[in-house]
Amino acid sequence: MSRRYEDLPGPAVTAQVTSSSIMLLPIGATEQHGPHLPMSVDTVIAHETASAVVDACGERLDIWQLPTMSVSKSNEHCWAPGTLSYSPETMASALDDIGRSVASTNAERLVLLNGHGGNTTMLGTILRELRIRFGLKTFLMHPSLPPAYGGTSTSDELGMGIHGGLNETSVFMHLRPGQTRLELAERRVPEALADNAHVRFGGSVSFGWLSNDFNEDGYIGDPTAANAELGMKLFEHSVAELVDAMSEVKAFNFGH
Amino acid sequence: MSRRYEDLPGPAVTAQVTSSSIMLLPIGATEQHGPHLPMSVDTVIAHETASAVVDACGERLDIWQLPTMSVSKSNEHCWAPGTLSYSPETMASALDDIGRSVASTNAERLVLLNGHGGNTTMLGTILRELRIRFGLKTFLMHPSLPPAYGGTSTSDELGMGIHGGLNETSVFMHLRPGQTRLELAERRVPEALADNAHVRFGGSVSFGWLSNDFNEDGYIGDPTAANAELGMKLFEHSVAELVDAMSEVKAFNFGH
Amino acid sequence: MSRRYEDLPGPAVTAQVTSSSIMLLPIGATEQHGPHLPMSVDTVIAHETASAVVDACGERLDIWQLPTMSVSKSNEHCWAPGTLSYSPETMASALDDIGRSVASTNAERLVLLNGHGGNTTMLGTILRELRIRFGLKTFLMHPSLPPAYGGTSTSDELGMGIHGGLNETSVFMHLRPGQTRLELAERRVPEALADNAHVRFGGSVSFGWLSNDFNEDGYIGDPTAANAELGMKLFEHSVAELVDAMSEVKAFNFGH
Amino acid sequence: MSRRYEDLPGPAVTAQVTSSSIMLLPIGATEQHGPHLPMSVDTVIAHETASAVVDACGERLDIWQLPTMSVSKSNEHCWAPGTLSYSPETMASALDDIGRSVASTNAERLVLLNGHGGNTTMLGTILRELRIRFGLKTFLMHPSLPPAYGGTSTSDELGMGIHGGLNETSVFMHLRPGQTRLELAERRVPEALADNAHVRFGGSVSFGWLSNDFNEDGYIGDPTAANAELGMKLFEHSVAELVDAMSEVKAFNFGH
Amino acid sequence: MSRRYEDLPGPAVTAQVTSSSIMLLPIGATEQHGPHLPMSVDTVIAHETASAVVDACGERLDIWQLPTMSVSKSNEHCWAPGTLSYSPETMASALDDIGRSVASTNAERLVLLNGHGGNTTMLGTILRELRIRFGLKTFLMHPSLPPAYGGTSTSDELGMGIHGGLNETSVFMHLRPGQTRLELAERRVPEALADNAHVRFGGSVSFGWLSNDFNEDGYIGDPTAANAELGMKLFEHSVAELVDAMSEVKAFNFGH
Amino acid sequence: MSRRYEDLPGPAVTAQVTSSSIMLLPIGATEQHGPHLPMSVDTVIAHETASAVVDACGERLDIWQLPTMSVSKSNEHCWAPGTLSYSPETMASALDDIGRSVASTNAERLVLLNGHGGNTTMLGTILRELRIRFGLKTFLMHPSLPPAYGGTSTSDELGMGIHGGLNETSVFMHLRPGQTRLELAERRVPEALADNAHVRFGGSVSFGWLSNDFNEDGYIGDPTAANAELGMKLFEHSVAELVDAMSEVKAFNFGH
């Protein structure tokens, strides 16, 4: 049976989506990722990760996969002609509307699976808003947690493979063979930041940045050694972790 | 070469998207369409129509296909649990943001290819706003013009195959064989309206309606005789007409 | 008895305005109409048409005429110093407020009688919003349907007497003798558009335009042969049609 | 020559409206005024006062009379079915739009002539906003300053002829003979307030109130002795004062 | 016992704040006041006045002092680098939120004690909005009523000691000895305004102004003779008047 | 010399605040913290921490301390009568206004020192918005990073001393002796969460929660062993870390 939500006829929603169902919204982006990657990277990764998670446990955990958002808040890349970006206000309104719509079903749990690091803090805020306004239990997952928000990056990149770096490029090479132009990529690691104890990606002091603040090419990390094998390994690990996390989501109650 | 906009790397946008390019945004919906059709109908039709148009003339006319919007303004179906809908304000903001993003490229023409009749008047308004704010030449096309806005519907449906009726169901059967449950469909034509000279779909007096105003099943028309052959014929005719229209868009200038 | 709504004392509203009453809101504009017509044209036509309709059938059909809006959304003329225009957001809010106010009475039907084509699509959207938010039955009429939205224009103008053309000028000459300076008018028909099968006023593809996109004088059509006799004929025909339409509004029910 | 702004053809605005012109916007309301007065009172008084001022000095002082706003912020009367009211946000947006439109002409001075006390503080705020955003010199006048904002009322009403009281009723009787039903009016003075030294209309402490906070009939004052002669006297005095004030507006410069 | 609201533990609010309590919100500003005064003046005066009033009668009248707002709407000073200002929209939203929060307690009365004249009309509007939305009885007081809104100023300043003038400077010298640099102050009275009968501060015609419209130094009045003794006298008088007013607030009922 | 920004006279801002200055905005809250702590906790900690940091290095690093915000986004506590909370929209607007105001000075660096965990993700989003809109270099620090966002909590609390727990209570006891009622506190640790590998505070999956989701008392952690000595140690450590961080802020450049 299809686990794509949009494949349900309207009147079937009431019976098929129950209080134990999990609604899963993949969130991508259409934004510059340097010369070596297409603008679709975040959407592809969010969509494929969600699909793999649903393939693995959708039936068992009663997950419904919502249509992937392919445009989101990408204003750190708006200096680059062509990036499609919602404003913060539009993005918040869109998710508010999605939350209201989801709350019109019997489902009680909504998971945001976010492929674009630029959305992370805003989605963190929205989790609470949707809980307050619609009573939903809300969750935020990432294919891989962005280094700027507590995730890890390779030591070779000094932990700063933020955008278009080794891991992301490798995963994309695995998912969409032949769409990466690695020969155009170079090392773009903001070395100076590594000396900071506090003000650095994932440090105790966060800071506002645009993707061209560090270099004019707009990618951050070192994708030169990216390869599909590494990408496959990372992707499979990520999916396995998310399947585990989905079980916790399924069982989650505040215990009150 | 891919004509999907998101397949471009960011830095390629400047060279590949030029002042003679046409940007094409397919707009779908995820909303109830009665018991016989999945909620994806409008998205599928908008997306497949856009893809067919681009296949037919994308290279010749230099068209770039933007990612399909799969949620839009569907509040006439919000009585039905499960419909995903943006508010009018969210929808307007999202398109404003898309317009701003498109205007950051060299393109001067943006075509909205709208698969959901509930968006039609709002998109009509937005055409002008995007022209004013961003200087774009803006256009609105439909896979088939909704009867409520000047299009035609079958005489058997008294011209009121508005939502989930004969034509739409047939086109969907052609595009996604095996996903329609025709055995659940019945005739749902608001016969009384046919007597009106003014206040009717496509009449001189338009009126506000929700999809459950006419009957509680929420579809309007008579899909019982729908079939894939008719769908194929309608789809191919629609694509041919839109390809013609695209040539006019390509050549369009205000002559001033 | 006066049928002007504002002539009612507040406490009389409850008894005088009933569930079978029709509330009628004339919507005009204050915007440039070329050198031959004053900026008041749309307001005058909307107001006089509404008054004539109410004179003809207000008592019989229990219509209450609301105060005429004399400023509306005219941003296609904002290039012209002096045009008074509400933004789309203001216009939508104002009508939302009017809808809420009307819904505080016993009336169930609200008719918008719109004299300015630039409002047409937005009002079409608002019909549904007011129905959703306040439960009103809502209707949109025009003194004459704009050619850009399905109405007709003269063949001599190639169907493009959009703004300040033959018909509108004639009607104004009938309603306000001595205020038109026909000697300043010339033919301003965008001939090139007539060759288009799709992208033209009232065609299957609508497009965004400002009134100075076609020519720098900002009127579209050919008013040079305008005359009050034609205006009288058009006005009387329009009023007769609207009186007919009002009977349909009176009887309108969704039949559900 | 007509001094009604809307009677100008669009292209004439540039020549006719100059840096020494004064733009005059009459602001009325459509709201309950008790059983003895129609809902039009504030609109009638604002409109007739503006017209009389323009008749008296419009040509001399180069005043252009804008179309009267007949709906404004009347939410203190929203408990009464039938009152037409803009929200504070709509009202602010509408005046912002009018300000922008006026600033597109050569005029530098905009006078708001406000007939509805419920607008007074908001318009006071807007004066500054329009000055900041559009550089206009902005002014706020009243046919008679509301007692709640520093104006006077009769001692018989203890200074509290706020809404539908002696003066307002008399002026309306003068302007629209035969539309007042004085036999339905009674004394409605909130006597208890008179004991307060601070918390009273026009006192050092202002307070939030709705028109039905004091009595359920929604008018405040004592109109029982109203008469057209008094009304004429008040009206003529008011017009004379405003004509004087207009001369000061004409000459007004910050001297910097 | 502390009468500072924020010193209450959360669960104590229900018992300690009752329907007879008065909530008092001091509102200051951080804005330029000329070269002789720090930007803190309005905040200091609002805060110290509120504290003195609460010291005098807080226990007796059951007043709870809310945290002082130190930034408010100061956009008439935005030409001066450094002024901190909320936009009108932010200020209105902030007070709406405060009103909602206060209405979540048992209190029924909210007093705004406003130290910044630039807020006066906006707060006047908000009194009503908070009453409508939350049912609160709302009041607006000033340490001293601004001359532009009905208060008095010294005759030596021709009644125009609006901002940084004799009285305000003196009060500040009393409250914060040693922080005033009187040697930098000069007479800055817009003499020309004094000739106007209508268009002047506190006159029948109000007008929009920025603080640098009159002179480029941005203060209005004559602080050269300011002194702490006068300040003490004014401050003590003001506190005494406000204590009186608070008793009226305590007893205030609409009598309906 | 005072390093409080508001103590500067307006005209001094231009000279005193330079491109190497750091603007420091302490952000507190007024919200329930359980029965043992007053609602002022977050404001007190943010304010005192900021003051201590400025005392330690304000002169050396040229820091200007802005007025402490004492109300912020506390809607996770809005179930508790008395909590003062800005909506997300108000909070974002207020910080946008502060950013614009700061950008009107010569300063290029703005540090938000946030004492309320409920603001953390929103402020993370705002860092970027202020950088985009005003070109500021923006930073976010915490007296102690919330466990929900990567900080640590005691193992005895299973890492969940989120709100009113051991550390926060201890710090407050140090800063405001005699205002804590420890006898009313109990252990309130949501033990069940500790079993989760992903969905837990600071885990890879974040989730939306209100402070009464876990227990009806609204605090989370175990404050029973809180003491002022621990508080002093924590406070001094925090200040020392922040002083270090401030040096990095001072030197921070994107290196591009």
pLDDT of residue C255: 73
Cα atoms in the Cβ-side hemisphere of radius 13 Å centred on B142: 23
Cβ atoms D224, D188 nearer than 8 A: no
Neighbors of chain D with 3 or more C-beta pairs under 8 Å: C, E
Q: Do chains E and A touch (3 or more CB pairs under 8 A)?
A: no
Enumerate the residues of chain D whose CB falls inside 8 A of the CB of residue E198. 241, 244-245, 248
Rounded to a whole number of angstroms, the distance from the CA of D229 to the nearest CA of chain C is: 22
D150 has pLDDT over 80: no
CATH of the domain at E222: 3.40.50.10310
D115 — pLDDT class (breaks 50, 70, 90): very high
Neighbors of chain B with 3 or more C-beta pairs under 8 Å: A, C
Residue E256 forms part of a structural domain: no
Number of domains in chain F: 1
Residue B221 forms part of a structural domain: yes
pLDDT of residue B146: 75
Cβ atoms C127, D121 nearer than 8 A: no
Cβ atoms F68, F47 nearer than 8 A: yes
Report the alpha-carbon distance of residue A200 to residue F123 in Å, rounded. Answer: 16
Nearest CA in chain F to E216: F11
pLDDT of residue E27: 98
pLDDT of residue C236: 97
Residue C256 forms part of a structural domain: no
Cβ atoms D90, D219 nearer than 8 A: no
Beta-carbon count within 10 A of D56 CB = 16
- What percent of chain E stands above pLDDT 90? 92
Cβ atoms E9, E96 nearer than 8 A: no
**8 Å CB contact of E81 and F104:** yes
D152 has pLDDT over 70: yes
pLDDT of residue D146: 75
DSSP label of E93: H
Rounded to a whole number of angstroms, the distance from the CA of A90 to the nearest CA of chain B is: 6
pLDDT of residue A152: 75
B252 — pLDDT class (breaks 50, 70, 90): very high
Bridge-based pairing state of the strands A109-114 and A22-27: parallel
Enumerate the residues of chain E whose CB falls inside 8 A of the CB of residue F34. 9-11
Q: What is the DSSP string of C119-162?
A: GHHHHHHHHHHHHHHH--EEEEE-SS--GGGT----GGGTT---
**8 Å CB contact of D5 and C86:** no
**8 Å CB contact of A210 and F130:** no
D174-207 per-position pLDDT tens digit: 999 999 999 999 999 999 899 999 999 999 999 9
Residue A244 forms part of a structural domain: yes
C256 — pLDDT class (breaks 50, 70, 90): low
Domain of residue C142, residue span: 5-251
**8 Å CB contact of A125 and F130:** no
pLDDT of residue E151: 77
DSSP label of D138: E
Rounded to a whole number of angstroms, the distance from the CA of D46 to the nearest CA of chain E is: 15
Residue E140 forms part of a structural domain: yes
pLDDT of residue A151: 77
**8 Å CB contact of C82 and D8:** yes
F77-99 per-position pLDDT tens digit: 999 999 999 999 999 999 999 99
Neighbors of chain A with 3 or more C-beta pairs under 8 Å: B, F
E61 has pLDDT over 90: yes
Residue B255 forms part of a structural domain: no
Q: What is the dihedral of CA D65, D70, D76, D77, to 10 degrees?
A: 150
Residue A57 corresponds to which amino acid?
C
Enumerate the residues of chain B whose CB falls inside 8 A of the CB of residue C141. 204-205
**8 Å CB contact of D34 and C9:** yes
Report the alpha-carbon distance of residue D74 to residue D91 in Å, rounded. Answer: 10
**8 Å CB contact of B93 and A90:** yes
- Choose, out of C1, C2, C6, the residue to mutate when testing the contact with D (most D CBs < 10 Å): C6
The continuous run of DSSP H or E covering D46 comes out as helix D41-61
Report the alpha-carbon distance of residue F122 to residue E59 in Å, rounded. Answer: 39
D57-81 per-position pLDDT tens digit: 999 999 999 999 999 999 999 999 9
C200-210 per-position pLDDT tens digit: 999 999 999 99
C44 has pLDDT over 70: yes
**8 Å CB contact of F256 and A216:** yes
Enumerate the residues of chain A whose CB falls inside 8 A of the CB of residue F137. 207-208
Give ipTM to 2 decimals.
Answer: 0.96
Considering CB atoms only, which of E81, E82, E87 is closest to F93? E87
Report the alpha-carbon distance of residue C121 to residue E156 in Å, rounded. Answer: 60
**8 Å CB contact of F10 and E66:** no
Q: What is the DSSP string of E28-80?
A: --B----TTSBTTHHHHHHHHHHHHHHHHHHHHHTEEEPPPB-----GGGTTS
Report helix, strand or coil for A145: coil
Q: What is the mean pLDDT of residues D108-124?
A: 98
Rounded to a whole number of angstroms, the distance from the CA of D178 to the nearest CA of chain E is: 31
Nearest CA in chain E to F14: E81
Instruction: Give the residues of chain A that fall short of pLDDT 70.
Output: 256
Rounded to a whole number of angstroms, the distance from the CA of C44 to the nearest CA of chain B is: 21
Distances (CA, A) of A164 to A37, A155, B55, C251: 7, 16, 30, 63
Enumerate the residues of chain F whose CB falls inside 8 A of the CB of residue E11. 32, 34-35, 80, 217
Nearest CA in chain F to E36: F9
Residue B22 forms part of a structural domain: yes
Report the alpha-carbon distance of residue B164 to residue F56 in Å, rounded. Answer: 71
**8 Å CB contact of F252 and A145:** no
Nearest CA in chain E to D241: E198
pLDDT of residue E148: 73
pLDDT of residue A256: 58
Considering CB atoms only, which of A128, A198, A210 is closest to F208? A128
Report the alpha-carbon distance of residue C26 to residue C50 in Å, rounded. Answer: 6
Q: What is the mean pLDDT of residues F115-130?
A: 98
E128 — pLDDT class (breaks 50, 70, 90): very high
Rounded to a whole number of angstroms, the distance from the CA of B77 to the nearest CA of chain A is: 10
**8 Å CB contact of D14 and C87:** no
**8 Å CB contact of C17 and D71:** no
Beta-carbon count within 10 A of A135 CB = 11
Considering CB atoms only, which of F9, F68, F181 is closest to E38? F9
Report the alpha-carbon distance of residue D176 to residue B223 in Å, rounded. Answer: 61
**8 Å CB contact of A128 and F216:** no
Enumerate the residues of chain E whose CB falls inside 8 A of the CB of residue D132. 75-76, 78, 208, 210
DSSP label of F204: S
Greater pLDDT, C62 or C159: C62
Neighbors of chain C with 3 or more C-beta pairs under 8 Å: B, D
Nearest CA in chain E to F182: E9
Considering CB atoms only, which of F13, F82, F179 is closest to E82? F13
F153-173 per-position pLDDT tens digit: 888 999 899 999 999 999 999
Report the alpha-carbon distance of residue E94 to residue E30 in Å, rounded. Answer: 16
Enumerate the residues of chain B whose CB falls inside 8 A of the CB of residue A70. 6, 67-68
pLDDT of residue E256: 58
Enumerate the residues of chain B whose CB falls inside 8 A of the CB of residue C205. 139-141, 245, 248-249
Q: What is the CA radius of gyration of chain E?
A: 18
Cα atoms in the Cβ-side hemisphere of radius 13 Å centred on C249: 36
pLDDT of residue D256: 58
- Choose, out of E204, E244, E253, the residue to mutate when testing the contact with D (most D CBs < 10 Å): E204
- For helices F120-134 and F88-103, give the axis angle rounded to 10 degrees: 40
**8 Å CB contact of C245 and B76:** no
Report helix, strand or coil for A27: strand
pLDDT of residue F256: 58
Residue D206 forms part of a structural domain: yes
Cα atoms in the Cβ-side hemisphere of radius 13 Å centred on F243: 17
Nearest CA in chain E to D203: E150
pLDDT of residue B197: 96
F186-219 per-position pLDDT tens digit: 999 999 899 999 999 999 999 999 999 999 999 9
Cβ atoms E85, E118 nearer than 8 A: no
pLDDT of residue B256: 58
